[in-house]
Structure 1
Amino acid sequence: MADFRSDTVTQPSLAMKERMFNAPLGDDVFNDDPTTLQLQRYAANLLGFEAALFAPSGTQTNLIAMMSHCQRGDEAIVGQQWHTYKWEAGGMAVLGSIQPQPLEPQSDGTLLLSDIAAAIKPDDPHFAHTRLIVIENTVGGKVLPLEYMRSVSELAKKQGLACHIDGARLMNAAVALAPRHNTTPQQMARELCQGYDSVSLCLSKGLGCPVGSLLLGSDAFIARARRVRKMLGGGMRQTGILAAAGLYALENNIDRLAQDHANCQRLADGLTVLAAQLPALQGKLTPLPVQTNILFTDIEIELAAQLLPYLAERGISLTASNYQNANGAIKRVRWVCHLDISSADIDKTLQHVSEFAHQQ
């Protein structure tokens, strides 16, 4: 079975389970769970922040961040496709009473600096008070460059705004960018965070943990965040069992993300070859460019209606949604590579697609 639905489906390795089983425990609501405290110190030092806070999910760490930066009626500038705006059930508005100001991303995943600047409201009682700029990196697998990240943080500081990174897959961005800057992924991740007031880092995606995310920021910010976490029901107790997995992941699973990227590119290249060579797929299956561990393929609706069940019967799980392009409606299929997808899984998947096409 090859489960491409998300990198959240990963199972903890035996070594990770052993760390979890042997973790010293306390009570995190009383702030005395030793393993959780160790994880928070480790992550803060890694990414260049004063403090960190462990929470159940990235949705919660993002919401905690926005509620810690903003008051009721304040405004946060976000991307139209950002997770914080589109995929978190409207929590910033519903629970935080924060007005989102969504902007349309460019094809490379960035928001135009001019669009961000134009969206900042003047200090006028008619308008919500713009307080925060939120940036997501990666965006649908697309990497936002270091120079761009720096430009956004500089704009925020110039305008007196806070800035937050939804870094659910920050380490994927760091692994992709590190060779261009002749540095390590760990140092690259730290550089991407410089100038930002907070970052949310997911541990349960490519890093392979069963549960958990981290929010990082200043001591004062994390003190506010801890109160918001409690308000949202995120105060857990013997969190060291989960924090131990996070420690193992940060120590062992960052560099290996490069293999996920390589597997994803191999999948994209293989599908491109099949789409060019096999008449049943020609003009009907189009792989989009890959930058990290996420591949999107645009598939003709009628073809997808046959191909996706065929693959599902052979243990290949995918997610897909209808999408409108210049030629009409298509099915956009997402393939996410992760530590439980091997190069052999890629080869087997390509073989199944080839066999399907030959049967048409």
Structure 2
Amino acid sequence: MDYRSDTFTKPTPGMLQAMLAADTGDDVFGEDPTVNKLEAMMSELFGMEAALYCPSGTMSNQVAIKVHTQPGDEVICSTLAHVYIYEGGGIAFNAGAQVRALEGDRGMISAPDVEAAINPDDVHKARTSLVCLENTSNRGGGCCYNWDDILQIKAVCAAHNLQLHLDGARLFNALLSTGQTAAAYGATFDSISVCLNKGMGCPIGSVLMGSAGFIREARRVRKKFGGGMRQAGYMAATGIYALENHLHRLAEDHQHAKMIAAALLEKEFTGHMLPVETNILIFEVHGGWTPVKFRDYLEREGIRVMAISPTQVRIVLHLGITPEMVEKTIDVIRAMA
């Protein structure tokens, strides 16, 4: 039972069959029909002009940031943003840009804070050119932005001629949890990346969306980053299968997360837990437990979780976790002293 991340999923039997049946070509030449179909499906779903299939969410984000910025620019994001703390310093390495990281709330930043962080038009200052949001927020425990907050940030960006990118690695979880729509996101953001290799259950893959001109340049940057794939349709077929079969089942992951959270909150060793809105639990342990001790104890019971800080444990639900596994996990937690 592996709760360390929703990246630990394996293709379902139906997904494997979709891979075997995929019609492929050379995607670098734009001739892989399955990749083209996936990109068209995603851009249509979000109401955006074009899309680009990338191997990973990190590449999608880094390509977007490179296209939106010039070397020496400044990018505004949260101190907990994946693009800032989990992409290997890619903003500096790939785009030559620097970061203005804002504290925010569970990885979510506000319009007033964004506006206050925009540099003046002064040769001594880096040019602020891009704002990056993350929804859901991984280190925020899978929390979701309120739509009005996003619109207010968009208004600030429009007033200051800034681009707005969304790291939507788990955006489908947010859409399901909040009732927000893909089309509304497509109409608001200049670019959006959505992972297929997390809750959607694909082995690899992320789709970057934006205007036709943006995606044309993104395709060039993807090539420079080594992300041009040939017969990628075998992998893109898993994305099509996931869009057609796995969106609805994300609700099961959310329910499972709440069930495990309820069991943990019954225990005296559970400290502060971030609100559980989607498929991620982040909580503190105390009373003789450390995150490492907690992790090691569960691992001896065949349950793998992640100690993500000196005080916090993370549990992530996904399609590889069955209802029976959840019940077993709850039984183990309830038996802990």
Classify the TM-score, shorter chain.
over 0.9
TM-score, normalised relative to structure 2: 0.95
In 1: Cα distance, 2:162 partner to 2:308 partner: 36
Unaligned residue ranges in structure 2 (runs of 5+):
none
Residues 234-243 or 144-153, more deviating: 144-153
CA RMSD of aligned residues (A): 1.4
2:333 — aligned with what?
Answer: 353
1:3 — aligned with what?
Answer: 2
Alignment check: 8 A CA contact 2:76 2:100 kept: yes
Correspondent of 1:230 among 219, 223, 226: 223
In 2: Cα distance, 1:78 partner to 1:284 partner: 30
2:165 — aligned with what?
Answer: 164
Alignment check: 8 A CA contact 2:270 2:283 kept: no
- The alignment status of 1:296 with 2:282, answered yes or no, reads yes
| CA shift digits 1:225-284 (9 cap, x unpaired) | 0000000000110000000001111122112111100000011012212x1xxxxxx255
Runs of 4+ in 1 over 3 A off after TM superposition: 283-288, 304-307
Mark the CA change 1:212 to 1:301 in structure 2 (over 3 Å): closer, same or farther.
farther
* 1:322 aligned counterpart, secondary structure: coil
Shift in Å, 1:288: 3.3
Alignment check: 8 A CA contact 1:288 1:298 kept: no
In 1: Cα distance, 2:296 partner to 2:108 partner: 35
Shift in Å, 1:287: 3.7
| CA shift digits 1:2-41 (9 cap, x unpaired) | 1100000011111111111110010011110000000000
Written as runs of structure 1 = structure 2, the 5 A alignment for 1:208-357 is 208-273=201-266, 275=267, 282-300=268-286, 302-304=288-290, 305-323=292-310, 331-357=311-337
Alignment check: 8 A CA contact 2:111 2:149 kept: no
* 1:316 aligned counterpart, secondary structure: coil
* 2:28 aligned counterpart, secondary structure: helix
Aligned AA (1:239)? A
Shift in Å, 1:163: 0.5
Alignment check: 8 A CA contact 1:24 1:35 kept: yes
Aligned AA (2:24)? L
Unaligned residue ranges in structure 1 (runs of 5+):
182-187, 276-281, 324-330
In 2: Cα distance, 1:355 partner to 1:169 partner: 32
Mark the CA change 1:284 to 1:213 in structure 2 (over 3 Å): closer, same or farther.
closer
TM-score, normalised relative to structure 1: 0.89
In 1: Cα distance, 2:44 partner to 2:250 partner: 21
1:55 — aligned with what?
Answer: 54
* 1:193 aligned counterpart, secondary structure: helix
Alignment check: 8 A CA contact 1:150 1:192 kept: no
Written as runs of structure 1 = structure 2, the 5 A alignment for 1:65-76 is 65-76=64-75
Alignment check: 8 A CA contact 2:110 2:153 kept: no
Aligned length: 333
Aligned AA (2:279)? N
In 2: Cα distance, 1:349 partner to 1:96 partner: 43
Alignment check: 8 A CA contact 2:143 2:275 kept: no
| CA shift digits 1:146-172 (9 cap, x unpaired) | 111122112211111110000000000
